[in-house]
Structure formats: C-alpha cells, structure tokens
Structure 1
Amino acid sequence: MSKTPPASAEPELTAIGITCEGGRFALPEKAAEVVRRASVFSGGKRHFEKVRDLLPEGARWIDIGGDIEKTLRAYDRHLDTGGGTIVIFASGDPLFYGIGSTIKKLRPERKLKVFRAPNSIETLLSKAETVCENIAFASVHGRDWHELDAALIAGGKFTGLLTDAVNSPDSAAQRMIEYGFENYGSVTGENLGEKDEKIRSLTLKETAQSDFRQPCAVIIEKIAEPERKEKQFETLPDRPGMITKQPARTRAVERLEVENLEHLWDIGFCTGSVSIEARRRNPRVRVTAFEKNPLCEKLIEKNSKNFSAPGIKVVMGDFFKSSPEKLPAPDSVFIGGHGGRLGEMMEILGKITRPGGKIVLNSVTEESGKTFRARAVESGFKFEARETAGNIEILSAVKK
C-alpha cells in the first residue's frame, strides 16, 4: 500500500508540463530548479528525447508506457523505500487528460505538485486564431468513443478532441458522418510546436478522407444546426407494433431519471427506442442494451444512426446466459422484455443494481404487474409507483 506523506513533506511527485516551438522545448518558470535538484525522472519516450541533455549524470528514468499501472507501481516502490521526489515530464498541461489527472485519480494519497503549461487544444486554438467562448473537451486517446459521442449529442458549437493512431481524426469524422453529424468542420493540428507542425482547416468529408500524423489535436466546429425532420423508428417487418410507444416511452424514461444516471440497462430493447431516447436526454449515460431476437441487432443499429445516438453497447443473446454480473453495475434498468421469466430477472437485478437505482417495467398484462410488485420486495427493492399510458401500466421500484 502507498503511504500518505505528512503535510509538510516535499512533493513526492512533480509533474512538469513542457511546450515546444520550432522543435525547441521550454519549461515553465521555476521548473528548471526542480529538475536540477532531482535524480529520478519519468515521462514518455518523446519526452526523454527532449529533456535528456538536462538530466544530471546518473539520473534514473522511469518510462511511461501503455501500462500506466506498471508505471505507478514503479513510483510506489521508489517512494515507499524513502526515495526522493520523482519529476515527471508531460506535454502541455499534466492535468488535461494527462499523467497529473491519472495520478490524482489512481493515487490520490500521493503528494503531487504540478507546473502547468497550455494544453494542445489551447495551443491549437491560438495558432489557428479560432475564436470560441465555450468549448467542450473530449478525448478518444487510448479510450472509447464515449466522450466524443456525448459532446456531439449535447450539441455544442465547439469540441476540442484528443486523438490517437487508432481513434484518429479521420476515424472520428467517419463516425460522425455515419451517425448523421454532418454539419461540422474541423481544424487539425499535427505535431504542434515541432518543425513539421501542420495545421489544416477542413470540411468533415475532407477530414474523413485524410491521413494524420500523431500527436494530433482537433477542434470540431458545428457549422450549422441540423435540418429538423420528422423521423420514425424502424420496426420488425412482421411485428410493426413491437415498439414502446411514445407516451409510455417518455414516462418510462422520466421514471428512470436518466438525467442522473451513469449506466442504464435496457433489457429486451427490440427497436432500441428506450435506449436511444435515454442517450438523447443524457449524452453522458452509458447504455447497455440486451436482446435475444437476432433481427433486432440491425434494427437498433439503423435507429441509432437515424436518430444520431451513437455509443449504445449491444449485448445479443439470452440475458440469463450473458453473465450480467460481470458487466458494470447499472444505476437503473428498463425491462422491455423478460421472456416470461420476470421473477428470475428481478432476482438477478436485485443483486446487481446499485443502491438507489430503479427498475422500470412497462407492463401489458395483469400477471406481469403482480409479479413485479411481489418480486420487487423479495429482491431488495421498494415498490415506488404505478401509472398508465394508454393500455400500458408503468411500474417502478427503487433498490434499497
């Protein structure tokens, strides 16, 4: 276990943001003295090449690679055996999706000092002379698409995006076009501050068809509001009525209180209408949607693209065989289908759902309503409310 240092101790970790211009790097004021006093340093390979001539003779270097936990354990071993301050070099602001924020999250007990510098998005905004008062930030660097998806659904005018070689600017643009976010342009900044720096202003289509060197920061700008069209959910060809109708869907989503959720499960998604409405209402909620009918997989994909709701995680197959206990626990659950096994399903959900989370069922039979009420109590829930929308009974219960 890492030790908590006394309040008066020197910083165990000092993160220094460095900037470059014309290939020459610069340290923040007062950081040079910190470097002169230290003997243990850390950073990525790019940082080592930049600062190697500054390091004292005999200095130790701890490389920051793909396994960040391995790096943090190396820090722990050094510090827990009485070693001095580790100086960590980072590009730009260490607290902007950088090593500083990682340390604060994974090693909050460590005493950390940070020398901040402009982050890559700030640098790109300045160099491109882009005027924006409000900008959202997202990173897909070593991550999934969730933050970009959330920013796009939220609909802000500007989004600053950090990319990598896999989740690249062209891949991001292709995804945006695929999900109907076509009314955007971009400014891209490759190798900012280096001699081969390249800044381009592109249409979204040009971005999707271009190649980019890393590191590459991107500013995505909404050029115009999308054209509003009346849209309909696609349904199963032979069962057009198999969809949660708008009034019942709206009330169910309100009962789930999706605005406050981090993770929602939609069991028996069919067309995906509840999952999609939840994503549109709360861009940051992670939705996991379950369905056993193989025809519905293409259906939710089409509807997600039609309604610009990317990022829904789809789990196909029998819910009871999908090892739900191994997935991130839901805050709340919507039950759109249960295959006649509602009691068993609620027993499983009672063991998984987080305290305070809700289960909502749109019941079409008296029997399922009775089962819901009885098994809710048995499974650790408190029955909350009943209301109707047409011939649908909307039932909800809260996890104790």
Structure 2
Amino acid sequence: MIDVIGTDAGAPASLPPMHQHLVQNADLVAAPKRLLPQLVDWLGSRADDQQRLVSDDPIALSDALAPLAPTLRIVVLASGDPLWFGIGRVLIERLGSERLRFHPAPSSMQLAFARLGKPWQGAEWISLHGRDPSPLAQRLQKRPAALAVLTDPGRGGVEEVRAILRGSGLESSYSLWLCEALGHHDERVQRLEATRPCPDDLHPLHLVVLLAQPPAASAAEALPLFGIADGDYLQHDDRPGLMTKREVRIQLLADLELPEQGVLWDLGAGTGSVGLEALRLRPQLQLMAIERRSGGGALIQANAQRLGVAPASVLEGDARTLLPQLPDPDRVLVGGGGRQRATLLKAVIDRLRPGGVVVIPLATLEALAELRPVLEQAELQLQISQQQAWRGQPLAEGTRLAPMNPVLILKGTKAQP
C-alpha cells in the first residue's frame, strides 16, 4: 500500500504519532518541494537511509511512483485532505485505488468554518479553479445559507467573487469572509465589507466564505421607485431565492398597466416584491396579497415596511378559498396556484372588472399550453411574450453575459361592456 498522508503547515512534526511512524519507516517519501527542508530536519540521521521523490507536479509524481516495486513502503505527503481538490484524484486515476490508503488532514473548507466558529454540515461549496465563473452566479440565485468558494488567484481570486456578488445584486445579502493561508503561520481571516478594498498583501492561497445575512434596511426614500435589487428583499429562510427577479419584476409591472386607483390582487405573492413595487408606483392602489406559505404574510408585511408602503390586505392560505373575501379586482398577478392554477384563473376571470388585466408569469411551456385556452375561452384579449435577461459577470480580464432563466408571460385583457 502507498500511504497518502494529509499535512498541515507544521508537518511532519505536527503529524499524529501513527502517521509519523509511517513516515519514519518508509523506504521512499514523496512530497512537495515546500516540505523538503522540514522533512530532512525532522528525520535527522534517518534521512540518509530513505529515498525521496520531490515534485509539485501531481501527474509527474504519480507516473514516477507507478513502476516502483510493490514491496517498497511508500508515503506520499500532501496538503490538507488529499481527496479534497488534492493529489488524491490523480493518484487514483494513475495508480488505482487498491494501491492507496488515505489519511486526511482537515481540508481548507473545514479550517475556514472552524475559524469562523460556524457549523458547516449544511454548507455548500464551489470551485472556480480553471473554471468558468458563471456557475457561481447561478448558485447564488438559489441563495445558499453558507457557500465556500475555492478561488483561482490566477483569475482574480476574491475580487472575482466580489464582482459576481455585486453583479447578482446580492452584496447586502451576504457577509464575505476572506480566509488566507489557512493552517500556516501567516494565516489571516477577515470580513471584507462591500466598500472595503482587498488587502494589498493578499496571499495567493485563499478562499472565500459567503454567509447569508438579512439585508440591512435602506431608507425607503433612498430605494429606486421600482426595479429594487433582489438582495434588498427579505426572503424565506427555507426557500431563499424563490422570488421574482428584478428584470422580470420590471416587465410584469409594465404589463399590468397599473391604473392610478383601483384594486390589485397579487396571488401567490411570495416575498410580495411585485405588488409592493406597484404601490410605490401607484400609492392609491389597494393591494390584496395572498400567499399560501406559512409565515408568508409576516414576510410580505416586513418587506412592505422596508419599502415604505402599506398593502390593504395580506392573507395566508389557499387563494381559491380566500378570493370571496376580496373586492373585485382591476388588475391581477397570478404567481401561484400550482396544479389548480387553471381553476384559480377561471375564478379570477369571473371576478375581473371590465377592462381589467390579468398577468401570469410562467416557467414552462406546459403551463402556457394549459392556461392559454382558459383566457381564449373567456374571450380575453391575449398577449404572450418571453422575458429573457442576462447579467454581466467577470470573465478573465473582461465581462461575459450570464443568462437568467427565461420567463413566459401570459396576459389577458377583459373587454369593456
């Protein structure tokens, strides 16, 4: 067996006794160049009786080990957990797992959360090493509670992460922790505020941890009239990211053709974002918001307070059973309904005032095929469109456009008598 031992900055002296014994009694020790001086000093006189293979190239090192006699006692020293973005994968591919026995040390992700004093069993991670950074933007749209980002210093490192966070409109929704040289004598862990520059002496060996936080409330008068950044909204802890994105929100507000006065129903209101921004545009509208999810009413009211508006009514429960409590609408946004959406839409059309407008954002073609006939049979004037947006994200020295999920928009207008 080839023993692959994970190390920290103090190795080999800091290794557990069992691992030290393996190193001392090995016929050959393979190690990265940075470990060679410490290894020779630690072995002392035993160093002369031992072969060493020193290389920072995992492939070259693996190929050098392959032809060696199976009777040799071989130890490979690696950083952290060899199976966590380490040499382990290459060794398995070139030597076979049956020849290898792994002894991991804490990974950089483990060390980062240990330094922050945060449980990490539910944390997510993503690597940007030599990769297109766009998956990070996509992952952020799901609003993970904790995300470790393995940065690529050759492509911008922490600055690339900050640019993606800014481009996603989520700077206020995450605290950004910069973890440098974890496990080494010059280790440094610090929180970087959005307005604070990166340190001039940034260590190339660093990773970033993003921790979700409630966005700080801005003064309502300082917010845009509409098209407010996604990160300015409070969201459900168990389903973060489940909200109408800014670009779609703007289009829906336009399609609703909001009157100066009247009644607006927001069914399946979610965070309340569309209806609440409608009130900023038309303060005299009566907003009736319904959300099925428990706690949805309190969330919508909290967001209303942040935006400085007051819905006429916010209800929790099944929209189909709550509609009789509401006054007839002039405008309706149908964002929910699930499998009963066709039934809900029929009930909405029956209550919609003459000249009224119903707007339905949809994620699938099947939903469009189901609901379009409902509007046609009710003889509403029909309009179908697709909203597709891209957000700029850093790419090497330039900017790429990262696509967001397309949204189909079905709109029906009821005829005047």
Q: TM-score, normalised by structure 2?
A: 0.49
The answer (yes or no) to whether the contact 1:191–1:215 under 8 Å persists in 2 is yes
User: 2:108 aligns to what?
Assistant: 120
- 1:99 equivalent to 2:87? Answer yes
Measured against aligned partners, the alpha-carbon deviations of 1:84-125 in whole angstroms (never above 9, x if no partner) come to: 243111222222221224433565444211112211222232
Residue 179 of structure 2, aligned match among 171, 182, 189: 189
Measured against aligned partners, the alpha-carbon deviations of 1:244-276 in whole angstroms (never above 9, x if no partner) come to: xx978623799xxxxxxxxxxxxxxxx994xxx
- 1:17 equivalent to 2:6? Answer yes
d(CA) in 2 for partners of 1:157, 1:301: 22
Q: Which amino acid aligns with 1:113?
A: R
d(CA) in 1 for partners of 2:167, 2:101: 43
User: 1:138 aligns to what?
Assistant: 126
Question: How many angstroms does 1:16 deviate by?
Answer: 0.7
Residue 64 of structure 1, aligned match among 53, 56, 77: 56
d(CA) in 2 for partners of 1:95, 1:230: 37
Question: How many angstroms does 1:158 deviate by?
Answer: 0.9
Measured against aligned partners, the alpha-carbon deviations of 1:133-163 in whole angstroms (never above 9, x if no partner) come to: 5211222244443664454233211112323
Question: How many angstroms does 1:17 deviate by?
Answer: 1.1
Q: Which amino acid aligns with 2:16?
A: P
RMSD after superposition: 4.4
d(CA) in 2 for partners of 1:312, 1:107: 41
d(CA) in 2 for partners of 1:63, 1:34: 20
User: 1:227 aligns to what?
Assistant: 232
CA 1:156–1:219 in 2, change beyond 3 Å: closer, same or farther?
A: same
d(CA) in 1 for partners of 2:182, 2:159: 18
The answer (yes or no) to whether the contact 1:15–1:112 under 8 Å persists in 2 is yes
- 1:176 equivalent to 2:165? Answer yes
CA 1:272–1:107 in 2, change beyond 3 Å: closer, same or farther?
A: farther
The answer (yes or no) to whether the contact 1:173–1:208 under 8 Å persists in 2 is no
Describe how 1:1-400 pairs up with structure 2 within 5 A: 11=1, 13-20=2-9, 26-55=14-43, 56-57=47-48, 58-65=50-57, 68-76=58-66, 78-79=67-68, 82=70, 84-104=72-92, 107-132=95-120, 134-145=122-133, 148-149=136-137, 151-167=139-155, 168-182=157-171, 183-206=173-196, 212-224=202-214, 226-227=231-232, 231-232=246-247, 250-251=364-365, 273=388, 300-301=390-391
The answer (yes or no) to whether the contact 2:83–2:89 under 8 Å persists in 1 is yes
CA 1:25–1:171 in 2, change beyond 3 Å: closer, same or farther?
A: farther
Q: Which amino acid aligns with 1:63?
A: S
d(CA) in 1 for partners of 2:102, 2:33: 20
Q: Which amino acid aligns with 2:40?
A: R
CA 1:185–1:231 in 2, change beyond 3 Å: closer, same or farther?
A: closer
Gaps of 5+ in 1: 1-10, 235-245, 255-270, 274-298, 315-335, 337-388, 391-400
CA 1:178–1:301 in 2, change beyond 3 Å: closer, same or farther?
A: closer
The answer (yes or no) to whether the contact 2:27–2:51 under 8 Å persists in 1 is yes
Q: Bigger radius of gyration, 1 or 2?
A: 2
Q: TM-score, normalised by structure 1?
A: 0.51
Q: Which amino acid aligns with 1:60?
A: R
Question: How many angstroms does 1:131 deviate by?
Answer: 4.7
Question: Secondary structure at the residue paired with 2:204?
Answer: coil
CA 1:157–1:166 in 2, change beyond 3 Å: closer, same or farther?
A: same
User: 1:319 aligns to what?
Assistant: none
CA 1:89–1:149 in 2, change beyond 3 Å: closer, same or farther?
A: farther
Question: How many angstroms does 1:34 deviate by?
Answer: 1.0
CA 1:33–1:170 in 2, change beyond 3 Å: closer, same or farther?
A: same
d(CA) in 2 for partners of 1:146, 1:85: 44
CA 1:142–1:207 in 2, change beyond 3 Å: closer, same or farther?
A: farther
Gaps of 5+ in 2: 216-230, 234-243, 250-359, 369-385, 412-417
Question: How many angstroms does 1:63 deviate by?
Answer: 0.6
d(CA) in 2 for partners of 1:227, 1:69: 47
The answer (yes or no) to whether the contact 2:108–2:182 under 8 Å persists in 1 is yes
Report the identity percentage: 21
Question: How many angstroms does 1:176 deviate by?
Answer: 2.1
